[in-house]
Structure 1
């Protein structure tokens, strides 16, 4: 049921939790947009709780449109206030003070990617924490993943592929993201009851980083996530999915593999369990699509992958 409180003139007012559910922007980010940039100005209850009118929600949606075009959050307010709403979105010469201290400006995604990569190379947890908190605090999860964390994973995987022993850096980044994801899933699963996903790795594959990015995105989109943080036989995953009432199994992978053999193995398991299996991660670049409704690859972009899952679960109940 939608939470709302009627205001004095009859229009609905929504608490921050409901605005977060409606827009997909988490409460921390909504507060940051208000405090740091004045992008939204919610009303307050006598006890100080934020209440948002319908026009505030529409403003949040317009903010998202600009962010999705690549406009830095520090410049969105100016664009929203322009009457025509058709301002240029790529004016690089209008750099503003972003309060980034010694970090790259918040709109400099390339710079931030290099910051993350350097922090991983130096095993600098504090630096990585600052970059993670800042990106997830100022931007919706989809934007932070698409503009910063997915490109970082792709670049690192390409680098690691040229080295014999990249395990230390990989494990460091996996461990970092895993700890941040754990708390998010804990709170998300208390708020999200449906739809349910069961997530794990492809047999014999290495897909932890892709799985973590996808899990962040799915939880933010309202999915209930059961995460197996390690390789599990597909038959056991089918059994576990039944007990958890999961509608879909998502298996992540990022390795070279015998795709034909893997396809046969997963197709057999999917039909036996009568449960859809979706493949995610960089391995999808090798995937050969068929007409098999029980087994298919998700888009390589986490946000589009989750949109595909949302549509599929809506179709099949």
Structure 2
């Protein structure tokens, strides 16, 4: 029987080792064997279970609900994400920056980035955008903490083997979302840098030899699509980054 280290499994499954440890320790989702030196060893069944956990989470199931589903229980699939959203908003209401940073880091360790962005961070930011009074200050506090954490994650990712790329916003105003989408791309093996100021006019010739990801937050206009095709025909490595 083949055994794999946590680093091997993390690379194979596209999951951060820190997340795998959280799935084991906090949620009891994994039970790897140990070497005599105490290092985790995963077999092929463990890898299959990790892929199944990923499928549940990516389909919208909170990590805290996955174990019950794996055991065949019936659960409410939505209240887990809603609980995380409410916890985050509660911290913001009480203006607790240190607690906010800790909460974001904990969520980042325990959840795949795609699911965390789509089911917690984006909904919370949308809720805050509906209130133009105190929520504006809360939103600003949240965005600052998010950018701080994402920048830390991207810096750590650039120390690993991978492909270099730059993400930039095109015709958007949401600077924080550019960082979040860069974080999403970093989970796909890219060593991401972020051009944090969105551009109204895109000039790929300013970034010679670099792989560029463009995020617009909406479908490109016909003119934008034509420009993208033109740049690609000219040999620029430029790609539209689409997300939910």
Normalized against structure 1, the TM-score is what?
0.64
**Secondary structure of the structure 1 residue equivalent to 2:3:** strand
Q: Shift of residue 113 of structure 1?
A: 1.6
**Gapped runs of 5+ residues in structure 2?**
none
| Structure 2 residue 53 is matched with structure 1 residue 67 | no
Q: Which aligned pairs between 1:44-193 and structure 2 lie closer than 5 A?
A: 44-82=34-72, 87-90=73-76, 108-157=80-129, 159=130, 163=132, 168-193=137-162
Shift of 1:34: 1.4
Equivalent position of 2:166 in the other structure: 198
Give, in whole Å, the separation in 2 of the partners of 1:90 and 1:209: 31
C-alpha deviation, 1:175, in angstroms: 1.9
Q: Deviations along 1:179-219, whole A, 9 cap, x unmatched?
A: 1111211221222423x43212224x312122122112111
Q: 1:208 aligns with which of 175, 190, 196?
A: 175
Structure 1 residues 263 and 134: alpha-carbon distance in aligned structure 2, compared to 1, 3 A threshold: same
Alignment check: 8 A CA contact 1:117 1:152 kept: yes
Structure 1 residue 276 corresponds to structure 2 residue 238: yes
CA-CA distance at 1:16 after TM superposition: 0.9
SS of alignment partner, residue 229 of structure 1: strand
Deviation at 1:263, TM superposition (A): 6.1
Give the conservation status (yes or no) of the 8 Å contact 1:45–1:51.
yes
Please report how far the alpha carbon of residue 51 of structure 1 lies from its aligned counterpart in structure 2 after TM superposition: 1.6
Equivalent runs, 1:249-264 vs 2, <5 Å: 249-253=213-217
Q: CA deviation at 1:37?
A: 2.9
Alpha-carbon offset, residue 72 of structure 1: 4.1
In the other structure, the counterpart of 2:192 is: 225
Q: How many residues align?
A: 242
Specify whether residues 179 and 79 from structure 1 end up closer, same or farther in structure 2 by C-alpha distance, changes over 3 A only: same
2:2 corresponds to which residue? 12
User: For residues 231 and 74 of structure 1, what CA distance do their matches in structure 2 show?
Assistant: 36
When residues 117 and 36 of structure 1 are mapped into structure 2, their CA distance, relative to the original with a 3 A threshold, is closer
Paired residues of 1:234 and 1:269 also in contact (CA < 8 A)? no
TM-score by length of 2: 0.80
Greater relative contact order: 1 or 2 (C-alpha under 8 angstroms, separation 6 or more)?
2
CA distance in 2, matches of 1:108, 1:229: 32
1:139 to partner: Cα distance:
2.0
**Partner deviation per Cα, 1:252-303 (whole Å, 9 max, x = no partner):** 458xxx957766776666665634342x6xxxxxxxxxxxxxxxxx24x2xx
| Structure 1: gaps (5+ residues) | 1-10, 93-106, 281-297, 302-317
**Offset at 1:44?**
2.0
3-state SS of 1:14 partner: coil
Taking a change above 3 Å as real, the CA distance of residues 77 and 259 of structure 1, as seen in their structure-2 partners, is closer
